[in-house]
Amino acid sequence: MKLILLGAPGAGKGTQAEILCDRLRIPTISTGNILRAAVKNGTPTGLKAKAFMDAGQLVPDEVIIGIISERLQEDDCKNGYILDGVPRTIAQAEALEKAGILFDAVVSIEISDETIMERMAGRRVCESCGASYHVVAVPPKQEGVCDRCGGKLIRRKDDAPETVKSRLDVYHQETEPLKAFYAKRNLLKTVENQSTVEATTAAILKVLEA
Ligand code: AMP
């Protein structure tokens, strides 16, 4: 299964990707997590990406295309993968297509901007492995500590309300057109965000079986 998860920042792509990768036994590839690790480690890619990320803007397509092409060649991607947060522009989608990287389905998680703004205030992520939590909806077993790896949970700098607003604008302008791009290829499946994480997972699995 080669799957793309689409959706606004905070739609729950990361949370759903983590669950689906366990269920489907395929890796999740999140360009956001790869970039945050690069920033933390001070690599050349991290240095290029940091200012864009802090401002809630997209990192240039050529940087992303380089990262993703390299990652998809690794052994664990042989039987499929879930892409979380990529592609995010038509240029990225076209580059993947040109490189012969094709998909079985593209699932778009639909959620209002208002719900996103409320939700982002409570989001926490693991600074080591990138796993996502929410202080109310998806709390870790122990406050401030990642269930998966024991890493420290932090608030992302780009989850500040003004930055979330910019990220939503970028999503509507640059990423939302991907829905029409993949609908044309008969790959698009839309899922309404549900009131619980489990219900959204069930809705995704249902459209994937259909
Ligand atoms: P995310 O964790 O997916 O919300 O990504 C966090 C930030 O990383 C975004 O706001 C962008 O600055 C950058 N980023 C992640 N994935 C991409 C992508 N596919 N294209 C451009 N920028 C990206």
- Collect all residues with Cβ–Cβ distance below 8 Å to 143 and sequence separation of at least 6: none
Q: Give yes or no for residue 64 CB within 6 A of ligand 1.
A: yes
pLDDT, position 210? 79
Residue-wise pLDDT for 34-47, tens only, equals 999 999 999 999 99
Q: Does the pLDDT of residue 49 top 90, yes or no?
A: yes
* Rounded mean pLDDT, 187-193: 97
- Mean pLDDT throughout 83-94? 97
CA-nearest residue for atom 15, ligand 1, is 32
Please tell me the residue having the least CA distance from ligand 1 atom 12.
53
Mean pLDDT of 57-85: 94
Alpha carbon of 58 to ligand 1 centroid (Å) = 6
pLDDT at 96 over 90: yes
Regarding the beta carbon of 59 and ligand 1, being less than 6 Å apart is answered: yes
- Kindly report which listed range (127-136, 146-155, 188-197) carries the lowest average pLDDT score: 127-136
Contact present, 142 and 118 (Cβ < 8 Å): no
Dihedral of alpha carbons 16, 4, 191, 104, sign: negative
Decide: 30 and 18 in contact? Cβ < 8 Å: no
For the cut 90, the answer to whether the pLDDT of residue 137 exceeds it is no
The pLDDT, as a whole number, for residue 163 is: 92
Q: Judge whether 157 and 150 are in contact, CB under 8 Å.
A: no
pLDDT at 148: 94
On the 0-12 / 13-18 / 19+ scale of CB atoms within 10 A, 139 is middle
* Structure tokens, 161: 């309300």
Q: Reply yes or no on whether 156 is catalytic.
A: yes
Q: Is 13 a catalytic residue?
A: yes
CA dist., res. 58 & res. 126, Å (int) = 22
**Is ligand 1 within 6 A of the CB of residue 130?**
no
The catalytically annotated residue of 36, 88, 119, 189 is 88
The verdict on the CB of residue 163 being under 6 Å from ligand 1 is no
CA–CA separation, 114 vs 24, rounded Å?
31
Q: Does 185 qualify as catalytic in the annotation?
A: no
**Calpha distance 154→77 (Å, rounded):** 29
Rounded distance from Cα 204 to ligand 1 centre (Å): 22
Query: Which helix (H) or strand (E) covers residue 5, if one does?
Result: strand 2-7
Mean pLDDT of 42-62: 94
State the pTM of this model.
Answer: 0.90
β-strand 105-110 against 188-192: which pairing, if any? parallel
